[in-house]
Amino acid sequence: IQKLDHPKIIDNRRFIYLGNSALEQMGVISKDKKEFTLLKMLDKSATAIGKRLLKERLLNPVMDRTELERRYDLIEKVTPHTRYLDEVMRGIYDLERLSRRLVLGKLHPFEINHIYDSMTSIKELMQYAKKHKILKAAFHESEVDEFLRDILKSIDLDISRRFTNATIDENFLMSGVDESIDTLTKESRVILVAFEDIMAKIELLLESANANSSNSLVTLGLLEKEGYYISLSKNRFSMIESEFYKHEDFKGFVVKKLTNNVKITSDFTDNLSDKLMKNRRKIISLAKDRFIALQSVYERRYALLFDRVIGYVADLDVGVGSSKAAQMYKHSRPMIVDVANDENFMQIMQLRHPLIEIQSQSGIYVPNDIVMGNRTYMDLPHPKSVMLDLSVHDSHDINGVLLYGINSSGKSSLMKSIGLSVLMAQAGFFVAASVLKFSLFDSLFTRIVSRDNLAKGLSTFAVEMLELKNIFNRATARSLILGDEISHGTETLSGVAIVSSAIIKLSSLRSIFLFATHLHQLSTMQEIRNLKNVVDLHLSVEYDADIDKLIFNRVLQAGSGSSIYGLEFAKSLHMDSEFLDIANKIRKRLAKDFDELELLVKKKTSKYNKDLYLTKCVICGAIAEDVHHISHKSLADSSGFIGHFHKDAKHNLIPLCKEHHKEIHDGKIKVEGFVMTSSGLELKYEEQLNKKDKKIIEPEINEAKNQEEPKGFTLDDW
């Protein structure tokens, strides 16, 4: 913890609360390093410090409108300059890591070069940004110049760039930095001059032997264990060998022949070598100590400058990277509106899932429009938006959506795309939509991925209930809640009850919520139907019989859609035919093929009266295919009237299956018409059974009674 920064107090009121592992559930981050996440998609950073800030912002979205507008503005300002700014920033090293190493006194000599090069690039960066009014720095150019001068005055960058702390083998500090080093350096230079005199005399012998060369033929070698020596190639030495041994100045010299060179030493050169080696060791030791001391000086002088420079570069890098991503993926700038504390608003046009649309190679991503909350803040209505259809919202603001659809229709993708757009917008990024106009949220909850928690001994259902409890404890009118198949971990009856209660609770809070579900019973429950701010929508899927395939249109449409589709999906996969037949028979027995809601949604109306929907047969509840006139059509006059009512009046028409329609015409069933009862209008009819038929049919009638089959059929039923 040496020299750590003081802890920063985080104001929770500034950040969105992300509940129930929202980041992982929406694919923002992942424990699987190979998984493609939103973080990876948005990361176009040129620097390491930019990458860190990008992640910090994405994982900590804020509620500060001023700061968000500043981030949006920066993205727009850098857009014409991204190529140049990106190129300059790629010359900036990880200053955050380097400054920390500097604080600890652990910089390598070559790393001071990295800091110098980075600050040089930053100076160029801030000059350009200032000229084009892109981003104002919290420091002055003169401060950067002062730091650069200080480095040049102290460090020989041509030498320091070669060394780590473990490989330093010569002084890399400038003269005047350390007096002791300067003194030892002068002594060493005198010793080197003595070596150079001996080497010069050998050069003269070579000149006399016509062995001249543009390169130095005699060099000073060094072996760490043996010290300094004079070196010459064997061929060159052979040319002067006789003269060398005769020369007065070289008496007592020893020549050791190696593979390619000769090694020339003497007692005199050994003495010089010992002194030079001793000085060299002292200089290296002193240079290391002085370098550590210099780091402490730099830290005291420039700590604040480093902090401000790092913040400036990171901010600019995230802005440039965000602009590159926005241009690459056609993202647009969000628009924030201020609303009262108990209000909210969200309008998203041409919404796409940012990850799926760039990963999908199978076709163009189908966008959808979302309008929820107080519609008085809305821009001009979008003509194709189902959520602006009066038949959907009935002049009420929409706070909740129950989203239905076949498996693979895109329910989860649509739900996640809403959450990702809000998260990106409140992290300061552009979004995958043509328009996002919204009020700031204070919390975002997800209930998307179902899993148990073995570590805590919790089942999938237990985890679901705890997450739902967390939502209820924290949700407000400023919350966005996304749920996928809530309570699917328990049996259907309890699941419907729990989800219904959750919908009623969130509806009363006026939170914005979207639940993807297969529980079609929800849309028929009176408690849910009474909620004016909750609507049913579905993602359309069509079955093309000609090609025997499901066509996923993925377009939001009104209503809950088909309530029976699991087998159709299985059929489209061409599963085992015997398996499918058995499943289909069981489904027909359990659900009588279709329930009332499914048939209503299909909106198959009678050709006689458009207000009469062909749902189920009034006799048996099977699919209604025919319409029967209670008072026969043949009784009508030329104007179509039977007495005071028209033959095609709704009360004179009843939907029937073909079997019972035939039985009525055969006289086996007598329909008397509608009568008023304490429960309202009911259809009165009776079966005409003779004794022979009674023996055959009575068990079926008794069985029907045991199953509590209704004998009456009210007008409300269709």
Three-state DSSP string of 168-210: CCCCCECCCCCHHHHHHHHHHHHHHHHHHHHHHHHHHHHHHCC
| Phi/psi of residue 592, nearest 5 degrees | 50, 40
Q: Does residue 588 sit within a domain?
A: yes
Residue 538 to residue 553: CA distance in whole angstroms = 11
CA nearest neighbour of 482 among 527, 448, 457, 449? 448
Q: Does residue 23 sit within a domain?
A: no
Specify whether 413 is located in the same domain as 535: yes
Torsion angle (degrees, nearest 10) of CA 124, 126, 129, 134: 160
How many domains would you assign to the chain?
Answer: 5
- Residue 492 clears pLDDT 90, i.e. is over it: no
- Please write the tens of the pLDDT for every residue from 25-83: 999 999 999 999 999 999 999 999 999 999 999 999 999 999 999 999 999 999 999 99
Quick one: pLDDT at residue 56?
97
Longest CA span, the chain: 151
Specify whether 255 is located in the same domain as 307: no
Q: Does residue 703 sit within a domain?
A: yes
Residue 499 to residue 502: CA distance in whole angstroms = 5
Task: With beta carbons less than 8 A apart as the criterion, state whether 628 and 656 touch.
Answer: yes
| Phi/psi of residue 619, nearest 5 degrees | -90, -50
**Token digits for 368?**
């959808």
**Percent of the chain's residues with pLDDT above 90:** 52
CA nearest neighbour of 623 among 644, 598, 642? 598
Task: With beta carbons less than 8 A apart as the criterion, state whether 480 and 444 touch.
Answer: yes
pLDDT band at 702 (very low <50, low <70, confident <90, very high): very low
Q: Does residue 26 sit within a domain?
A: no
pLDDT band at 93 (very low <50, low <70, confident <90, very high): very high
- Please write the tens of the pLDDT for every residue from 262-287: 999 999 999 999 999 999 999 999 99
- Please write the tens of the pLDDT for every residue from 97-147: 999 999 999 999 999 999 999 999 999 999 999 999 999 999 999 999 999
Query: What is the DSSP secondary structure assignment for residue 222, as one 8-state letter?
Result: E
Residue 408 to residue 360: CA distance in whole angstroms = 14
Q: Does residue 473 sit within a domain?
A: yes
pLDDT band at 589 (very low <50, low <70, confident <90, very high): low
Q: Does residue 1 sit within a domain?
A: no
Say whether 553 sits in a helix, a strand or coil.
strand
Residue 334 to residue 458: CA distance in whole angstroms = 40
Specify whether 530 is located in the same domain as 568: no
Identify the CATH number of the domain in which residue 312 sits.
1.10.1420.10
Specify whether 237 is located in the same domain as 377: no
- Please write the tens of the pLDDT for every residue from 177-208: 999 999 999 999 999 999 999 999 998 988 88
Full domain range(s) for residue 567: 562-601
Which are the contacts of 660, defined by CB distance < 8 A and separation ≥ 6? 617, 618, 619, 620, 669
What is the identity of the amino acid at 627?
Answer: V
Task: With beta carbons less than 8 A apart as the criterion, state whether 341 and 477 touch.
Answer: yes
Query: What does the H/E/C string look like for 580-613?
Result: HHHHHHHHHHHHCCCCHHHHHHHCCECCCCCCCE
How far is C-alpha 579 from the geometric centre of its chain's CA atoms?
Answer: 40
Specify whether 204 is located in the same domain as 314: no
Where among 501, 529, 560 does a domain terminate? 560
Higher pLDDT residue, 595 or 566?
566
- Please write the tens of the pLDDT for every residue from 308-341: 999 999 999 999 999 999 999 999 999 999 999 8
Going by their DSSP bridges, the two strands 435-438 and 335-336 should be labelled as parallel
The helix (run of H) or strand (run of E) holding residue 432 is none
Buried b (16+ CB within 10 A) or exposed e, 310-324: bbbbbbbbbbbbbbb
Q: Does residue 689 sit within a domain?
A: yes
- The model carries a pTM of 0.75
Specify whether 668 is located in the same domain as 579: no
Q: Does residue 5 sit within a domain?
A: no
Q: How far is CA 185 from CA 23, 143, 528, in A?
A: 60, 32, 90
Specify whether 553 is located in the same domain as 568: no
